[in-house]
Each structure stands twice: as structure tokens, then as C-alpha cells.
Amino acid sequence: MNTLKLRKIVEVALKHRAVSVIIAHNHPGGVAEPSDNDDKITEQIKNALQTVGISLQDRLVIAGNEYFSYQLEKDAVKKTFF
């Protein structure tokens, strides 16, 4: 993830005086399993937020009726909404 996008995430969190955040994004291809790039970006976001004392509580990957939660599913297990 480029530095400007990371900065924007931090700026929005600070603007709203957040002490923690949850971030979500979609996988339009229908697979709710995070990619290696998702893992890397999640770590970058977490580190950027930590520099200003904000914790990343979770990052969700949404695909159709399934989702993946980094917080709940560290072993990459998918869940279904319904």
C-alpha cells in the first residue's frame, strides 16, 4: 500500500478521534480468503496506526455471503453471513 493511502487511513482515524479501528474491503471474485498482499497491507495499516496510538482491532475481507476476520480467524477460516 502506498504511503498516501496509509496516511489517509491514519488521518481519518485521527479526525474522528478513534482509539481503535476496524477496516473492511471486498473481494469481488467471491473468495473471502485473504491474499499474501492482504496480509502485508494489514500489517502496514496496523503499524501506521500504532505510530499514533490507535489500534487496528480487525480487518475484514468480504466476498459474497462470506467473510474473513483477521481477528477471529488467524488460520484463514471463512465464515458465512447467513
Domains along the sequence of the chain with CATH:
3-80 (3.40.140.10)
pLDDT confidence tier of residue 30, bands split at 50, 70 and 90: confident
Share above pLDDT 90 across residues of the chain, in percent, rounded to a whole number? 67
Q: Which of 35, 43, 59, 34 is nearest to 6 (CA)?
A: 43
Share above pLDDT 70 across residues of the chain, in percent, rounded to a whole number? 89
Q: b/e for 43-68, b at 16 or more Cβ within 10 A?
A: ebbbebbeeeebebebbbbebeebbb
Model confidence, pTM: 0.82
Q: What is the pLDDT of residue 74?
A: 64
According to DSSP, the β-strands at 66-69 and 79-80 are antiparallel
According to DSSP, the β-strands at 79-80 and 55-63 are unpaired
Q: Is residue 56 predicted with pLDDT exceeding 50?
A: yes
- The mean per-residue pLDDT over the stretch 41-60 comes to 94
Dig out the grid coordinates for 24 from the structure: 473492511
